[in-house]
């Protein structure tokens, strides 16, 4: 048999097409849409946060021509209900049933801890657009896990410093008993006490309980100089309103991380006016990127963006940088990760870089509620990065 016979017209066409694909690069050869799994809360006390993150993420993708690294996107969505018990099954559904290339989520730290374990076990790329569980970018850090939001202790530390500088001597803290609340209080306490203050009582409720009355009675009796509270979403709306209704707002200042008043001011109305909070974002940050982001978001969704929308937007911005570096070829994982690690993101919050553990290094602003705005009144801590917590990357 002649092994060198002339190729048929069909074989020549196949060879020509294959050569064309190779010339276009592996991304084109790989074909197909990039599958993005959004695992976020769409019901419950954090529902509005999940929606804002989704909107922000999709806005950044649209601004990038609807593609990442040249590939179109197919979204897969799961409502995680902010329920840690359901997290492994939900994450596995997206990874094993839907075969997503990238996982984006979530809001609740307990869910994120379980989700990041599944991502680590399956080596799936995960970008966290909110949940601040300190350990995820500390001892549990991994090459495939990134965060574009914050770590829970960061805004707490900043407020601890500010309150100590304001010469407050005693504080009572109140929060839900789970990683986010505990770590937020931990950050506040450490820097408040380092500055000469004392946390005289830590009050805890189970998540997502909102029966605050007996706790407010206890706060009134304790008469601290200040109350530091971590609540978010629907819980934050109710706590701030109940605090004012109990007559405490005029006697004991209520402060917290910005989650206490972000995305909630419409519902909190008068009860939030004048409150001080600390966060890596402020509505009125007058920088070109924030002005453009706010205008585009409001045009697309007919509502003002909040910190959660901004974090979702930055999750997509980070992915754009990674995907562009590998021209859409996710099999080049090491190059993709390297590009994301070295990213300098033009964020609506200001310039954003990532630490060794893949957590944001950013300014934490001091904000004051004025009308429907969390107005930036200063920088509480510049370029805040987490202390080393045993990340081995």
Residues at the contact surface with ligand BEZ, assessed by CB under 6 A: 107-109, 130-132, 152, 180, 232, 259
Residue count (the chain) = 393
Q: 131 vs 336, which CB is nearer to ligand BEZ?
A: 131
Sheet strand arrangement including 67-68:
67-68, 71-79, 34-40, 102-104, 125-128, 145-147
Q: Report in angstroms how near the CB of residue 152 gets to ligand BEZ at its nearest.
A: 6
d(CA 284, CA 293): 11
Q: Report in angstroms how near the CB of residue 64 gets to ligand BEZ at its nearest.
A: 27
Q: Report in angstroms how near the CB of residue 335 gets to ligand BEZ at its nearest.
A: 30
Q: Report in angstroms how near the CB of residue 71 gets to ligand BEZ at its nearest.
A: 30
Q: How far is CA 254 from CA 24, 55, 168, 232, 333, in A?
A: 58, 30, 12, 14, 46
Q: Are 379 and 287 in contact (CB under 8 A)?
A: no
Instruction: Report which secondary-structure segment, H or E, holds 189.
Output: helix 179-194
Q: 69 vs 155, which CB is nearer to ligand BEZ?
A: 155
In which residue are the tokens 């999709």 written?
A: 58
Nearest to 360, CA basis, from 178, 204, 130: 130
d(CA 116, CA 52): 21
Q: 37 vs 155, which CB is nearer to ligand BEZ?
A: 155
Q: Report in angstroms how near the CB of residue 107 gets to ligand BEZ at its nearest.
A: 5
Q: Report in angstroms how near the CB of residue 51 gets to ligand BEZ at its nearest.
A: 13
Q: 61 vs 112, which CB is nearer to ligand BEZ?
A: 112
Q: 186 vs 197, which CB is nearer to ligand BEZ?
A: 186
Q: 152 vs 261, which CB is nearer to ligand BEZ?
A: 152
d(CA 344, CA 293): 17
d(CA 32, CA 94): 17
d(CA 393, CA 391): 6
Q: 158 vs 232, which CB is nearer to ligand BEZ?
A: 232
d(CA 171, CA 152): 19
Name the DSSP letter for residue 66.
T
Instruction: Give the Cα-Cα-Cα angle 135, 141, 145 (nearest 5 degrees).
Output: 110
Q: Report in angstroms how near the CB of residue 110 gets to ligand BEZ at its nearest.
A: 7
Q: 154 vs 355, which CB is nearer to ligand BEZ?
A: 154
Instruction: Report which secondary-structure segment, H or E, holds 216.
Output: helix 213-222
Name the residue whose CB lies closest to ligand BEZ.
180
């Amino acid at each position: 048999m002649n092994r060198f016979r002339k190729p048929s017209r069909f074989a020549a066409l196949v060879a020509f097409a294959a050569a064309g694909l190779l010339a276009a690069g592996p991304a084109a050869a790989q074909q197909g849409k990039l599958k993005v799994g959004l695992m976020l809360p769409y019901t419950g006390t954090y529902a509005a946060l999940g929606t804002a993150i989704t909107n922000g993420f999709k806005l950044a993708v649209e601004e990038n021509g609807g593609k990442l690294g040249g590939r179109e996107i197919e979204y897969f969505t799961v409502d995680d209900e902010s329920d840690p018990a359901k997290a492994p099954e939900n994450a596995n559904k997206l990874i094993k049933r839907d075969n997503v290339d990238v996982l984006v989520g979530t809001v609740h730290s307990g869910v994120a801890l379980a989700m990041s374990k599944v991502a680590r076990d399956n080596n799936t790329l995960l970008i966290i657009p909110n949940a601040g569980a300190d350990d995820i970018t500390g001892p549990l850090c991994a090459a495939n896990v990134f965060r574009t939001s914050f770590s829970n202790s960061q805004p707490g530390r900043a407020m601890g410093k500010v309150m100590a500088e304001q010469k407050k001597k005693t504080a009572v803290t109140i929060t839900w008993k789970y990683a986010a609340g505990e770590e937020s209080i931990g950050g506040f306490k450490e820097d408040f006490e380092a500055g000469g203050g004392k946390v005289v009582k830590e009050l805890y409720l189970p998540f997502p309980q909102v029966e605050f009355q007996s706790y407010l009675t206890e706060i009134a009796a304790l008469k601290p100089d200040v109350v530091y509270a971590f609540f978010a979403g629907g819980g934050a709306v109710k706590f701030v309103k109940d605090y004012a209704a109990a007559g405490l707002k005029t006697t004991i200042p209520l402060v917290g991380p910005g989650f206490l008043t972000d995305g909630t001011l419409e519902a909190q109305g008068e009860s939030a006016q004048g409150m001080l909070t600390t966060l890596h974002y402020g509505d009125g940050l007058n920088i070109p990127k924030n002005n453009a982001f706010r205008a585009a978001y409001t045009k697309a969704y007919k509502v003002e963006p909040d910190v959660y929308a901004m974090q979702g937007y930055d999750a997509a911005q980070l992915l754009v940088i990674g995907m562009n570096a590998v021209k859409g070829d996710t099999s080049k994982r090491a190059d993709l990760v390297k590009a994301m690690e070295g990213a300098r993101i033009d964020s609506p919050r200001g310039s954003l870089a990532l630490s060794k553990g893949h957590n944001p290094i950013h300014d934490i602003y001091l904000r004051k509620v004025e009308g429907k705005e969390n107005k930036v009144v200063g920088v509480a801590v510049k370029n805040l990065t987490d202390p080393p917590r045993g990340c081995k990357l």
